[in-house]
Amino acid sequence: MKSAITLFAVAGLSVSAHGGLIAAQWNFNSNPADGSSSTGSLLASAGDNAASASLSLLGGLTSTFASGTSNGGSSDPALTDNTGLNTTNFAAQGTGSGTRGVQFNASTVGFDGVVVSWDLRFSNTSSRYLQFQYTTDRTASTPVWVAAGGSTVNGVNNIITGASAGDTWLRNISVDLSSAAGVASNANFAFRIVAVFDPNGAGNQYTAASSGSSYGTASTWRFDLVTVVPTPGSAALIALGGLMASRRRRGV
């Protein structure tokens, strides 16, 4: 019995990592697929709570659809219609830190622990630094946004994360919110990914992703495979619960 439980728990984790046990996910691909990366969809593409999920652009940011396979490519497994959300019209140098980015509204009802992950391609002149913010009540007249720690880029943990070079996809940037109060099983959960000033620089300035470039408002961030999933521990518990229920139905 012990080995069977362990094996099923591992299987549950694998399913979570590859598209099962998802609260909401955006892959931005056309549905149905049309073979073009210049067209796409802003609707959540998968997840138990996909029907109520939505996104919005912040602070005057604008967007188009563009390839998810360029410059090394995102982690989206789509072969013929891999599309990303390309955003631009960032704030002028020295202004608007934390005001321009993308907000994702994603109910976590039914999920005891939550991890948010995404892929992001930084253009050479885009802000190297971003901040992940979340709220437990996006419906409030003035939502309280919290800057989350534990975000990861290339193994580096920090509240604010940065690209190592321009025109590069960073895959599986992630934030573990399993210990954040009020995030689990919350219909009004939302998060933002916004451009911020260089925390290490002098003065209030954005730093370009490429060391040989200067920051510019026409720069781009391209998002792909934005995903809200349970933490590995809670995914295992869900899988184990399914196994036990199945055994009870069979009278084992």
Q: What is the mean pLDDT of residues 211-239?
A: 82
- State whether residue 14 is helix, strand or coil: helix
Tokens, residue 226:
């934005």
* pLDDT, position 233: 59
Rank 165-169, 174-178, 188-192 by mean pLDDT and report only the highest. Answer: 188-192
Which residue did the predictor score with more confidence, 112 or 4? 112
Q: 77, 73, 150: which is closest to 114 by C-alpha?
A: 150
* pLDDT, position 10: 25
Q: What is the mean pLDDT of residues 229-248?
A: 50
17: amino acid identity, one letter: A
163 confidence band (pLDDT: 50, 70, 90): low
Mean pLDDT estimate for the chain: 81
Kindly list the distances between the CA atom of residue 30 and the CA atoms of 15, 42, 89, 103, 199, in Å, as whole numbers in the listed order.
Answer: 24, 9, 24, 20, 37
Q: 197, 101, 190, 200: which is closest to 146 by C-alpha?
A: 190
pTM: 0.82
**For residue 60, pLDDT beyond 90:** yes
Q: What is the mean pLDDT of residues 96-107?
A: 96
**For residue 114, pLDDT beyond 90:** yes
Domains of the chain from N-terminus onward: 1-21+235-252 (no CATH), 22-229 (2.60.120.260)
Which residue did the predictor score with more confidence, 15 or 42? 42
* pLDDT, position 162: 55
Q: What is the mean pLDDT of residues 76-104?
A: 95
Distance (Å, whole) CA 180 – CA 150: 11
- State whether residue 234 is helix, strand or coil: helix
Distance (Å, whole) CA 187 – CA 74: 29
